[in-house]
Structure formats: structure tokens, C-alpha cells
Amino acid sequence: MPGQKIPYIPITVFTGFLGAGKTSIILSLLPKFPKDYKVVLLKNEFGDIEVDSQLAKQSSLAAVSEILNGCMCCVLVGQMKIALLEIRDKFRPDRIIIECSGSAFPATLAFQIRELERETNDDIKLDAIVTVIDAENFSGYEDTSPTAKMQASYSDIILINKWEYVDDRALDLLLDHLHTLNDPTPKIRCNGRDGVDPNLLFGVDTKLFLDSQHETSIPGEAIHHDEVQSVMLSRSSETTRVAGHLCHEPTCNDSHLLNAAACGGEERASAIDEGLLRDALRAVSKETVWRIKGFVRLEDGVYILNWAFGRYELTPCGRDEDPARGLCCPPDGDG
């Protein structure tokens, strides 16, 4: 539990589908820690720029480390162990929080941490796997995403986020379905912007994935498909770069991650009208799963844009420098 000193470094893994609200929940936990409690965030981004990480760096985290350009449970497998050892040696935090990409299999990450436990003589230990569920949209993306089912099935705690946006009947149906996928795992409702009490998440000392001999028995773990495409757009650039990332999903062409990339040149990006941006976001195709995030310059400054399933937030960037970054959102949703 926060504030309780222990001889090893516990790791809490947050997983959950694209746009479930992992970053917001993690950031909501930080003010609830004791002031001398040192937390380092290891974050995995599909794209090659740090978007959510900029929000995290404005928080009370001791440090933020990123693994970019792919999913660390498949394409970048092995990089997580290196990053965790670097965090241990450089910061010696009281806790490490890992925020997975939206398409990560928790089992692969857990087995890597279990290996690290043995290699470090339990100096680093897996504490819990926490899955964040978007109550408003889970039934939609879960139908076509084996990954979403896996995340809910292999978890110590399931956090139900955005439940205030659904009626009681829909929430009951969601809970029934989650009980079917993973009956013994506690399901906890997040308290809006206030998140959840960290004492409910930390000190779990999970017993999941202790036996490495069973690693290959996890359904779907050995089969990888193209799941996510990363589309980097820049207002001041004439080109759009699309990079596919190897992951797990048979519906790869129906799932996209849209990242606003840093401008290639030194030219300052011109401001975007907020009304035009809002209209473009409303026009994003509903036929595929989009996750839109990036830096956008409005008339009054640079903001971090986060959009998922029709809802978006604009957060002041808070940077000292003046990044030449922008976002163009294709009105037809094509990338």
C-alpha cells in the first residue's frame, strides 16, 4: 500500500482497450500518494511521439519512461525488461506503474516480469494486473476484439470506467458479461475524475502467471496479426505516413490509432480553428475503431488532444518551448 516501505519494487500493470481511460485513472491516483512516495511510470505508445506522456510529466511522478513505435508484448518484446532494470538502477522507486498500449496481451507482459523476478532475486515483483473497462463502449469493441476479452479475462482487478454514461440496465448487462469472462476478479467502479482509492489496487501480490511452463497455454498468445495502424499527420507537412504495427487482432483493418506527429521542419504550425477541429472530430467514421491523440495548436496555445468513441478533451500542453505541432483530422475517417 502507498506509504508502506517494502524491500522490493512492486509493479502494477494497467491494461485496457484503446480509449478506456488508463492514463486518466493513473494520473488520478498520484495526488492520493504520500508526498515522499516515489512512482515511476513506464508507458507504451504505438506511435513515435509522446502524447499522454506529456500529461504524465506534468504530474508528481518521479519519472516517465516511454517505449514507442509498437507493442511491447510482441514487436518490442524484451524492451520492457531492459527499461524496468534501468528504472530500478536510476530511480529506485517505491512503485513502478506500467501502462500498456491498448492492444497489449497482459499475459506476455506478466511472464516477462515473472522472469525478471527470478533474475533479480525478487528485487522487482509483479503486484497486480489491473484492467480498465470502458463501460460505455466495451460491448461494441469486445465483439470484434479478442484482445479486449483477454484483457478482462486475465486480470487481478477490473476497473469499470465511464459507467456514469450508461443506464442501470446496460451496466447490469456489462457486469453480467464480465462475470462470465472472469467471475472471481473484483469489479470496481471508478469515481469519475476522482478515479479509485489506490489502497484497492496496491498490495495485491498477485498469483497470476507464476508458472512459466503454462505460458504457451494462453489462448491466442502464439498468434499475432496486424491489429493497429498508426497514422501520423502534420498540418505543415505535405505527406502522411502510415505505419502498421504487428499485434494480435484478426480485424486489423478495422482498428486504427491516429497520432499527430511532430512537424518535420522548423516551420511553426499555424493555429487551427477550434470549431473546425470539433467538426472534423464529429465526422470521424463510426465504422472503425479510432483513437485520436496528438498536439494541436489553437488560437490561445498548444493543447493535447485525446479523442475516443466520440468524446474528446483538450488539455493545455504546459510546455516551456513552442512545439511546431498540429493535427489534421480527415473528415471521412480515412487514413
Q: Which of 135-139, 204-208, 299-303, 316-320 shows the lowest per-residue confidence on average (mean pLDDT)?
A: 316-320
**DSSP SS3 for 5:** coil
Q: Comparing C-alpha atoms, which of 158, 109, 138, 128 is closest to residue 17?
A: 138
Q: Rounded to whole angstroms, how far apart are CA atoms 15 and 304? A: 22
pLDDT higher than 60, residue 186 = yes
Question: Residue 221 is placed in which grid cell?
Answer: 498468445
- The rounded distance, in Å, linking the Cα atoms of 127 and 156 is 9
pLDDT, average across residues 245-262: 36
User: Are 66 and 45 within 8 A, CB to CB?
Assistant: yes
Considering 168-182, 287-301, 305-319, the range whose residues carry the highest mean pLDDT is: 168-182
Q: Give the three-class secondary structure for 7.
A: coil
Query: Is residue 334 pLDDT above 50, yes or no?
Result: no
Return the residue matching grid coordinates 511521439: 49
More confident residue, 110 or 293: 110
Determine the average pLDDT of the residues in 98-127.
Answer: 89
